[in-house]
Amino acid sequence: MVAASGSSSAPSEVFFSSMRLNENETLPSTLKRLVERAGIGTIDFERKFTAVKMHFGEAGNLAYLRPNYAKVLIDLVREHGGRPFLTDCNTLYPGRRKNALEHLALAYEHGFSPFSTGCHIMIGDGLAGTDEQLVPVPGGTYVTEAKIGRAVMDADVFLSLSHFKGHIESGFGGALKNIGMGCGSRAGKMEMHSASAPKVRAEACIGCRKCGRFCASGAIGYPQKKAFIDPGSCVGCGHCIGACPIDAIYSSFDEDSSILNAKIAEYAWAVLDGRPHFHVSLVIDVSPLCDCWRANDVPIVPDVGMFASFDPVALDVACADAVNRQPATANSVLADRLGESGGAHAGCAHTEPHEDYFKVIGPHTNWRTIIDHATKLGLGADRYTIKEV
């Protein structure tokens, strides 16, 4: 099938496998067959550092992808002579992934280790989220130089492995968000998320002044022995957030959602431009909110399957369309908002073709803005042809 679209661009191939198995298959073997049919073997991996970007899950969230899926890609890269590593960058918000030590510890707790995946994990922007590379954004509207984790940019080949799910700000989290937001350093995440300077919870601040030592612009003072950030001097590096030992400094996360999506697309373009890349998305455990949340809630639709493509834009559109074709899961937040939970139509397919489940969950979001901007940049096509494997 070819997705309907107003774009005149030629459709990209998106390969798909369902989660149904015969007695001779496993989910890892199905994923391997899918990505091989999609053409991952045409990439020259020989002696190439290969970044496999994925999300290791926040503490308390159980919807993140299992390490078994990552091992499929890692083993294939090694079979083709590559040097793979798993990677993600530190978070902007306080939590278990705000620095590399806690981030790695949580990844190990969630089953990601050299023993389970066959490769090492490297946190892309270093210990405190400050190890970044400024990368030009060709044709960028909002970003001229993206701030990307250095280890990500040191790789010769880039692969993304995404868990496709809802997102409170971008509409959904798929390949583009996994790449763009996920590869941004702390300063990069500040640039995408926030239209204003970080703020301080004065009642929590202990006046240790560690944030001031890490401030890139001298914007932090200490009236009444409490930190204060001058918004006129702040350059938005976000270093103070990572430096604060008690999480008293926070980002406002106040960027307009459509601009946020455009910035994510521009960051993704910076990551991918000029090197081989390939993308896999699993539409399973489709939680209403992203894997950064400390809980994941009931999946909004049944598991759909596995998708793979060289085009991350077409991949995201195909996954979104696939979700919107599914029945809403009974007793999920989606069913509640569609008025189906517990009623006569619980679990039935929602048949109105104009209905967008992600808009139902997040009425202020519009995932089309990331697709439209990515297409405009030349990152991919918003039309696709499904090749079932």
Q: Give the C-alpha separation, 287 to 172, whole Å.
A: 10
Binned at pLDDT 50, 70 and 90, residue 373 comes out as very high
Residue holding tokens 């060709």? 138
Q: Per the structure block, which two tokens stand in for 375? A: 């297409």
Note the pLDDT of residue 112: 98
Count Cβ neighbours within 10 Å for each residue of 85-100 and write b for 16 or more, e otherwise: bbbbbbbbebbbbbbb
Burial zone of 169 (CB within 10 Å; 0-12 exposed, 13-18 middle, 19+ buried):
buried
Note the pLDDT of residue 237: 83
Residues 208 and 259: beta-carbon distance below 8 Å? no
pLDDT over 60 at 353, yes or no? no
Instruction: Write the CA distances from 268 to 136, 137, 271, integer angstroms.
Output: 11, 9, 5
Residues 291 and 63: beta-carbon distance below 8 Å? yes
The structural domains of the chain, ordered by start, are 12-194+255-388 (3.40.50), 196-251 (3.30.70.20)
Binned at pLDDT 50, 70 and 90, residue 344 comes out as very low
Residues 291 and 165: beta-carbon distance below 8 Å? yes
Residues 326 and 304: beta-carbon distance below 8 Å? yes
As a whole-number percent, the residues of the chain with pLDDT over 70 amount to 94
The string of DSSP letters for 151-167 reads HHHH-SEEEEEEE-EEE
In terms of residues, how long is the chain?
389
Largest CA distance in the chain: 69
Virtual torsion, Cα 379, 184, 202, 217, nearest 10 deg: -100
Q: pLDDT per residue over 251-273, tens digit each?
A: 877 888 999 999 999 999 999 99
Residues 157 and 49: beta-carbon distance below 8 Å? yes
Note the pLDDT of residue 7: 52
The DSSP call for residue 30 is H
Indicate the SS3 state at residue 87: strand
Nearest to 238 by CA among 128, 135, 123: 128
Note the pLDDT of residue 139: 93
Q: Give the C-alpha separation, 195 to 258, whole Å.
A: 13
Higher pLDDT, 349 or 147: 147
Residue holding tokens 């997040």? 362
Q: Per the structure block, which two tokens stand in for 98? A: 């705000």
Q: pLDDT per residue over 103-130, tens digit each?
A: 999 999 999 999 999 999 999 999 999 9
Indicate the SS3 state at residue 363: coil
- Helix axis angle for 368-377 and 312-324, nearest 10°, is 160
Binned at pLDDT 50, 70 and 90, residue 36 comes out as very high
Q: Give the C-alpha separation, 87 to 161, whole Å.
A: 10
Binned at pLDDT 50, 70 and 90, residue 94 comes out as confident
Q: pLDDT per residue over 278-329, tens digit each?
A: 999 999 999 999 999 999 999 999 999 999 999 999 999 999 999 999 999 9
Q: Per the structure block, which two tokens stand in for 345? A: 């139509």
Lowest mean pLDDT among 37-51, 268-282, 303-317, 346-360: 346-360
Note the pLDDT of residue 348: 52
Binned at pLDDT 50, 70 and 90, residue 354 comes out as very low
Nearest to 191 by CA among 257, 132, 146: 146
Q: Per the structure block, which two tokens stand in for 144? A: 């001229």
Note the pLDDT of residue 342: 42
Distance between terminal CA atoms of the chain?
A: 14
As a whole-number percent, the residues of the chain with pLDDT over 90 amount to 82
Indicate the SS3 state at residue 8: coil
Nearest to 95 by CA among 257, 254, 289, 295: 295
Residues 36 and 68: beta-carbon distance below 8 Å? no
Note the pLDDT of residue 126: 97
Note the pLDDT of residue 235: 85
Note the pLDDT of residue 352: 46
Lowest mean pLDDT among 41-50, 147-156, 220-229, 252-261: 252-261
- The sign one gets for the Cα dihedral 286, 69, 82, 149 is positive
Nearest to 28 by CA among 57, 79, 62, 71: 71
pLDDT over 60 at 340, yes or no? no
Note the pLDDT of residue 347: 46
Note the pLDDT of residue 212: 93
Residues 315 and 278: beta-carbon distance below 8 Å? no
